[in-house]
Amino acid sequence: RQQPDQAAVLLMAATFISRLLGYLRDVVLFAYFGQGSLTDAYYAAFTLPDFLYLLLVGSALGPVFIPIFSSYLAKKQETEAWRVANSIWNVVICFMFFGLLLAFYFAPQLICLLAPGFAPETAVLAVELTRIMLPQAFFLALAGIGMGILHSYNNYLTPSIGSITYNVAILLVSLFLLPYWGIHGFAFGVTVGAFCYFLVELPALYQTGWRWQPFLSFRHPGVQEIFHRLLPVLLGLSVNQIN
């Protein structure tokens, strides 16, 4: 558990390191492929899973979920807190699963919508890279909920390590696969990085007492409150993301 001032410093340091590694990741990408149709296809492919993650968890669910989950913990109602957490967890799993299936199937149409000026071969490559990177959104969504739970328990270290691990894994896997798979290896590295992010959080989540359960209750007051608060946040964020 970290004190507020320690947590602030830790988050700032982790954000700085993660951004630095993200910059290094882009340096490696452009060093190998330059700036052209390959990197255009890669960044277009990154857009769709990134949109799904940011819209649901990255910018919307976290600020809504954490206060409600923490309020149950503050009232010593840990059983109810876990009911809320598992309900939201399972909603996100279902939403992301079906959303990613649709995105996988309609990837050609979505790429044409996102990048209408691509040459046919670039569009085909963007579709391939999109389908490789789509699982990234699923693992980042799970990691986002895990981060909310850990923050509620004043554990800021583990999610910070996870965000750094995300970029480190992308770099290492990409550097290993680039000679064999080309830019497809970079896309695969993104998915592996997201999986590692979630994997880093699992031991700390188990220490809090969390256990996944196939529990889903839309009638639970905490779940209903989350959805009531989430709708206006989603509407505001969707306008920005779509723009």
Distance from the Cα of residue 152 to its chain's centroid: 18
The per-residue pLDDT for range 15-49, each reduced to its tens digit, is 788 788 878 888 888 888 878 888 888 888 888 78
Q: Mind giving me the DSSP string for 18-87? A: HHHHHHHHHHHHHHHH-SSHHHHHHHHHHHHHHHHHIIIIIIIIHHHHHHHHHHHHHTT-HHHHHHHHHH
Between the CA of residue 146 and those of 87, 103, 117, 217, what are the distances in Å? 13, 24, 39, 19
How far apart are alpha carbons 175 and 25 in whole angstroms?
10
Distance of CA 69 to the CA centre of its chain: 20
What distance in Å separates the CA atoms of residue 133 and residue 53, rounded to the nearest whole number? 12
Residue in 155, 136, 238 with CA at minimum distance from that of residue 196: 136
Tens digits of per-residue pLDDT, 85-134? 888 888 888 888 888 898 899 989 888 888 788 888 888 999 999 999 99
Q: What pLDDT shows up at residue 232?
A: 75
Q: What is the pLDDT of residue 10?
A: 73
pLDDT band at 55 (very low <50, low <70, confident <90, very high): low
One-letter amino acid at 135 equals P
SS (H, E, C) 68-107: HHHHHHHCCCHHHHHHHHHHHHHHHHHHHHHHHHHHHHCH
- Token pair 């809504």: residue: 64
Q: Has residue 163 got a pLDDT over 60?
A: yes
State the pLDDT confidence band at 69, using cuts at 50, 70 and 90. confident
Q: In this model, does residue 237 exceed pLDDT 60?
A: yes
DSSP 197: H
Average the pLDDT over 177-203 and give the result.
91
Q: Provide the CA 105 distance to its chain's centre, in angstroms.
A: 21
Q: Count of CB atoms within 10 A of residue 101's CB?
A: 11
Select the more confidently predicted residue: 4 or 22: 22
pLDDT at 131: 92
Q: What is the pLDDT of residues 196-223, one digit of tens each?
A: 999 999 999 999 888 888 777 778 888 8
Residue 201 contacts residue 159 (beta carbons within 8 Å): yes
Query: pLDDT-based confidence at 7, cuts 50/70/90?
Result: low
pLDDT of 132: 93
What integer best gives the mean pLDDT of the chain? 83
Provide CB contacts within 8 A for 14, sequence distance 6+.
159, 160, 161, 163, 164
